[in-house]
């Protein structure tokens, strides 16, 4: 059987697009997919059923708590001068953990610079993330070992990388899918729209996961688009769905569906996780200059960790001993992160010259020698 005929066979067996996602008219407003309300009530959705065992719920709670603790520790370390910069995910834990846990081992994730929760789900050591923000490495993990690409700082560029990788999967005839993460601000970038075009035309098995945290640095989503972001997908010829980004169960269910839709030969899906950035865009940003405190307070009531804890307590699936054990584990993680970052050795500054070109280069050699001489002058006290 050829690759092309295999793709056709897979497409026939693929799950259909839910009826609630087919509407594309001006007034079409598919509901926000939600399986766990802000009050901790478990609800069902006809198009996205989800069965989770008690152990899975407790594991998701653990993920959320530890990811938040790691993020908070990194923010503190930056404020103490231990990191050059940090992009916090506070408030977006459910979107990242839910989607991250939906991935199969063979699936490949392309992150921005904020997907610390997805990195956690792909078993990337948090200290490797912090090494990049401390300036001692360029990533620190093997992308092909973790199926988690290095962080991309250029806004939206990773969506093109993801689409190309997904097109390669199709040519290989593999049963895997790709997920590309980006924010609401990046949806306005040309790279993202080009990725949509190529993914649609080539029927690439890629899920575009947009974390709409309401603010592209200081610009609200309302200044970027006249329609909900998930509806942009229809213009490129593939389905889009908006999910409650603070509901870890809904994010898990919708992303599983989207990945299966893509891997089955049906092409891309756009998932808009409707969430909120509770902190600053990065530690160099001051959100109090452009948004109201009342807005942030309203979103606190939708906290992803609190609602899952409420469900666990209501259903009798976790006791105080369980929650205490998670808190103790988070303290140990915080300590490991603090000690690990402070103990990172500074890299040799001359390493920056080593991989400018694949082969030796006269100008680079001259610049390296000049830098070495300049640095040595400090040791000799000439420039003090």
- Catalytic residue positions? 277, 281, 290
Residues 6+ apart with CB under 8 A from 275: 91, 92, 94, 95, 211, 212, 213, 214, 245, 246
User: 311, 57 in Cβ contact below 8 A?
Assistant: yes
188 phi and psi angles, rounded to 5 deg: -90, -5
Q: Rounded distance, CA 377 to CA 352, Å?
A: 19
User: 236, 204 in Cβ contact below 8 A?
Assistant: no
Helix axes 157-172, 3-12, angle to 10 degrees: 100
Q: Residue 74's CB: how many other CB atoms inside 10 A? A: 27
Q: Look at strands 215-216 and 219-220 and give their pairing.
A: antiparallel
User: 270, 238 in Cβ contact below 8 A?
Assistant: yes
Q: Residue 346's CB: how many other CB atoms inside 10 A? A: 8
Tell me which residue of 166, 62, 55, 192 sits closest to 109, measured CA to CA: 166
Cα-Cα end-to-end distance for the chain = 72
Q: Which two tokens stand for residue 227?
A: 């329609």
Question: Sheet holding 178-183: strands in order across?
Answer: 108-110, 178-183, 206-212, 269-274, 240-244
Q: Rounded distance, CA 19 to CA 27, Å?
A: 15
Q: How many residues does the chain have?
A: 384
HSE-CB at 85 with a 13 A cutoff on CA atoms is: 11
Q: Rounded distance, CA 263 to CA 303, Å?
A: 32
């Amino acid at each position: 059987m050829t690759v092309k005929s295999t793709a056709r066979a897979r497409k026939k067996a693929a799950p259909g697009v839910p009826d609630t996602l087919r509407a594309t008219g001006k007034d079409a407003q598919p509901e926000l997919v939600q399986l766990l309300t802000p009050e901790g009530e478990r609800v069902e959705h006809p198009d996205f059923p989800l069965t989770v065992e008690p152990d899975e719920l407790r594991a998701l709670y653990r993920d959320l708590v530890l990811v938040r603790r790691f993020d908070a520790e990194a923010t503190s370390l930056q404020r103490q001068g231990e990191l050059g910069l940090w992009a916090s995910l506070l408030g977006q834990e459910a979107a990242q953990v839910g989607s991250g846990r939906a991935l199969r081992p063979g699936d490949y994730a392309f992150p921005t610079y904020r997907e610390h929760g997805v990195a956690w789900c792909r078993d990337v050591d948090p200290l490797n993330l912090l090494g990049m923000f401390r300036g001692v490495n360029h990533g620190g993990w093997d992308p092909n070992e973790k199926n988690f690409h290095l962080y991309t700082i250029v806004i939206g560029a990773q969506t093109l990388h993801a689409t190309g990788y997904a097109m390669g999967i199709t040519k290989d005839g593999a049963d895997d899918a790709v997920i590309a993460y980006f924010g609401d601000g990046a949806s306005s970038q040309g790279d993202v729209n080009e990725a949509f075009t190529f993914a649609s035309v080539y029927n690439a098995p890629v899920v575009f996961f947009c974390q709409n945290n309401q603010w592209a640095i200081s610009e609200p989503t309302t200044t970027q688009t006249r329609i909900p972001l998930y509806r942009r997908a229809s213009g490129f010829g593939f389905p889009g769905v908006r999910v409650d980004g603070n509901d870890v169960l809904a994010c898990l269910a919708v992303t599983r569906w989207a990945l299966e839709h893509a891997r089955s030969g049906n092409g891309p899906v756009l998932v808009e996780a409707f969430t909120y950035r509770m902190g600053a865009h990065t530690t160099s940003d001051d959100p109090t200059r452009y948004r109201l405190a009342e807005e942030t307070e309203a979103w606190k009531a939708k906290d992803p960790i609190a609602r899952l804890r409420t469900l666990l307590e209501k259903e009798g699936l976790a006791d105080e001993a369980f929650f205490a054990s998670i808190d103790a584990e988070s303290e140990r993680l915080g300590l490991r992160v603090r000690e690990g970052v402070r103990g990172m050795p500074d890299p040799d500054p001359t390493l920056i010259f080593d991989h400018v070109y694949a082969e030796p280069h006269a100008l680079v050699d001259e610049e390296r020698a000049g830098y070495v001489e300049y640095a040595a002058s400090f040791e000799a006290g000439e420039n003090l």
